[in-house]
Structure 1
Amino acid sequence: MTSTLWQRIQTSGMSSLAVMGMTKNTGKTVALNHLLAQAATAQVAIGVTSIGRDGEDRDQVFFIPKPPVVVWPGTLVATAQATLQRAKVRYKLIDSAGIDSPMGEVVVVKVLEHGEMEIAGASRGSDQRKVIGRLKQCGAALVLLDGALGRSQHASPAIADGVMLATGAAMGGSMADVIRKTRDRLAILGIAQADEATRTLCEPVLSQGGVAIWNGHGEVQFQANIATLNAGEKLLEYMDTDLATIALSGAVGRSLWQALMKLAERHPGLTLVVADGTKLFVENADLLAFHKLGAQLRAYRGINMTGITLNPYSPMGGSFVAEEFLNAARQAFAGYDVSDVMLEHKIKNNGAIG
């Protein structure tokens, strides 16, 4: 039976979707498997790859059993060669992505039967774009990118047409706490994309890496391929210059953010451009304080949040009543499509909420 989540994705016209988890055990793999099953039923040519590694039997941090990635006949999978030794399905080698990873070359295979696979794809955003393109060339009408927020500072859901965010009780705390944490994360992920003129100005540093500063005339004051996490001290050297725009290609942590706040105090019209919201390791309150100073925060690539999936269960304890969690989340995230795919499946099978 077709789910409302799958219907929304199909009618959107998107050709790539990142399925991201707020943290481990928030139901990302369950949501991914749901979409793979729906695609198989709808006979949609589907491709799947991963940011890093997924589909292993146990969570590699907490060693909690986790659901495997379940693929279907015809699914195109881009994964590192080492994972194929553990595949529980027959497959046919289709192509090479031309990308190396710690687990071997990333290749494209066509699945020949229903079963489980471990998937380990490219970790760098530029390589992920290549993999998505290769899966499309091999016939995928929709590519699913499986990942987790913060898994790699080089990985980003902004390379996909849309993002499905999985959140749930595993975030810890009460239902209200989980909703608050999710709302704050959505605010960070949802920072607006910069205008075309600003994107053009920042493109060299955002594509090549590093940090850059421009004055009000668009002239480069400083540009270097240095680690962003440690760039605060360098940026502060330009405190008393004509400073209008800063571009940062990598992660923005607490110490760097403190330096940016000082610069914003001195330059109220400052525009800060980051690769996307996944690079910000600060709180939503920090963003609000930055904007209050008259500064602007923009993303080089904006993230299109397609929807939110919920997991009311936590393997660490503190689970929620599914129906109550779904209702509360839909009220809290009124501007988003919110789903609990397991609850929807249960309702459709039983004809009522059990």
Structure 2
Amino acid sequence: MTKSSALWNRIRDCGMTTVAVMGMTKNTGKTVCLNHLLAQARAHNTAVGITSIGRDGEERDQVFSILKPPVLVAQGCLVATARDTLLRAKVRWKQIGGTGIDSPMGEILVVRALDAGEMEIAGASRSHDQHRVIALLKQCGAGLVILDGALGRSHHASPAIADGVVLATGAAIGGGISDVLKKTRDRLAILRIDEADAALAARVGRVFSDGGVGVWNRAGDCLFSERIATLNAAGTLLALPAADIASIAVSGAVGRSLWQAVTTLQARHPGLTLVVADGTKLFIDANDVTLFAKSGGRLLSLRGIRIAGITLNPFSPFGGSFDAKEFIAAARGAFPGQVVSDVVQEEQSMLEGANP
């Protein structure tokens, strides 16, 4: 019987069909995690498709020029990638179809790997294009689509795109084990804000389907609803004459300016509720969320993000690597209820178990 990793079991048991792998920063083991999931899919006869938000699989890190592990695809794997990357593929491939989506490296094409080997992958960067690519990969037979994330961009983790998220963290973040775990906990606090109840979600739903910003009073009456850019919404919200504001819904990104406007309104209207699409729309700090809650405010999402697991990389190319056993023990204590794994160590244990 083929052995399953804890991460693979969580993805399978939760029925996830689209999983985003997101690194806390570069060199936290995202590509290693990606290859682990590809290997598990192959071992369990699961047809898999892969694409990237940005670029991955290149020989060297484009920021630090550090050697990187390649993306390892199996024979039959479906890949959505830019045309130019296929010139450097170390496998034979067959084009299945085009997408009509352009990128700096050419049209995003869907191909099938005819051999096992290394590929560089560069996919669509815009959310609506990602939806199209995922749908096409599934139409071509992928039972699981894996999205490879890019530095500093988390919109691919949105539940509108992915069923689940694997967060890769590690020593490359900097500091000691406790520092890394705190930074990881802070990221999770942003991604995993509570989901709005059904009644509130129904009330604010139109803002998210149409776009823009909406405001309601405590009786549930809509005081304001316009398709305005959230980047320009701070002044509009602060100028509202309403004496009773209970809820605000924002369909787009919440940056520093808009967040400051919301906290100002919370001081004027205690118990204010802010609803965002999901945690990937928040460009604020975990401390902001904590202070907002302490002041009586509620921060909710229209759709919650499911964390499929947290993977650890105890090695840092910049120095300051951790003891692997100490790191994983501390991380499991810090994140109870989550699948926390060092996939390299787990694969080694499975190999030793298969070869006593």
Aligned to 2:54: 52
Aligned to 1:39: 41
Aligned to 2:236: 234
- C-alpha distance in structure 2 between counterparts of 1:288 and 1:275, whole Å: 19
Q: Does the CA-based 8 Å contact 1:124-1:155 persist in structure 2?
A: no
How far residue 207 of structure 1 moved from its aligned partner, in angstroms, is 4.1
Distance 1:68 1:106, change over 3 A: same
- C-alpha distance in structure 2 between counterparts of 1:64 and 1:229, whole Å: 36
- C-alpha distance in structure 1 between counterparts of 2:153 and 2:209, whole Å: 20
Q: Residue 287 of structure 1: SS of its match in structure 2?
A: helix
Runs of 4+ off more than 4 Å: none
Q: Deviations over 1:26-72 (max 9, x none)?
A: 11110000110111122210011111222222222222221121111
Instruction: Give the alignment partner of residue 136 of structure 2, picking from 114, 134, 137.
Output: 134
Which 5+ residue runs of structure 1 have no aligned equivalent?
Answer: none
Distance 1:96 1:218, change over 3 A: farther
Distance 1:24 1:306, change over 3 A: same
Instruction: Give the alignment partner of residue 328 of structure 2, picking from 322, 326, 332.
Output: 326
- C-alpha distance in structure 1 between counterparts of 2:197 and 2:85, whole Å: 41
Distance 1:26 1:204, change over 3 A: same
Identity among equivalent positions (%) equals 61
Matches within 5 A, 1:166-315: 166-216=168-218, 217-226=220-229, 228-238=230-240, 240-315=242-317
Q: Residue 329 of structure 1: SS of its match in structure 2?
A: helix
- C-alpha distance in structure 1 between counterparts of 2:167 and 2:194, whole Å: 18
- C-alpha distance in structure 1 between counterparts of 2:53 and 2:221, whole Å: 35
Q: Structure 2: which amino acid aligns with 1:286?
A: D
Matches within 5 A, 1:26-175: 26-148=28-150, 150-151=152-153, 155-158=156-159, 159-175=161-177
Q: Does the CA-based 8 Å contact 1:74-1:111 persist in structure 2?
A: yes
Instruction: Give the alignment partner of residue 20 of structure 2, picking from 9, 18, 21.
Output: 18
Equivalenced residue count is 350
How far residue 145 of structure 1 moved from its aligned partner, in angstroms, is 1.1
Q: Does the CA-based 8 Å contact 1:58-1:64 persist in structure 2?
A: yes
Q: CA RMSD in A?
A: 2.2
Q: Structure 1: which amino acid aligns with 2:16?
A: M
Distance 1:115 1:34, change over 3 A: same
Q: Residue 88 of structure 2: SS of its match in structure 1?
A: coil
* TM-score when normalising by structure 2: 0.91
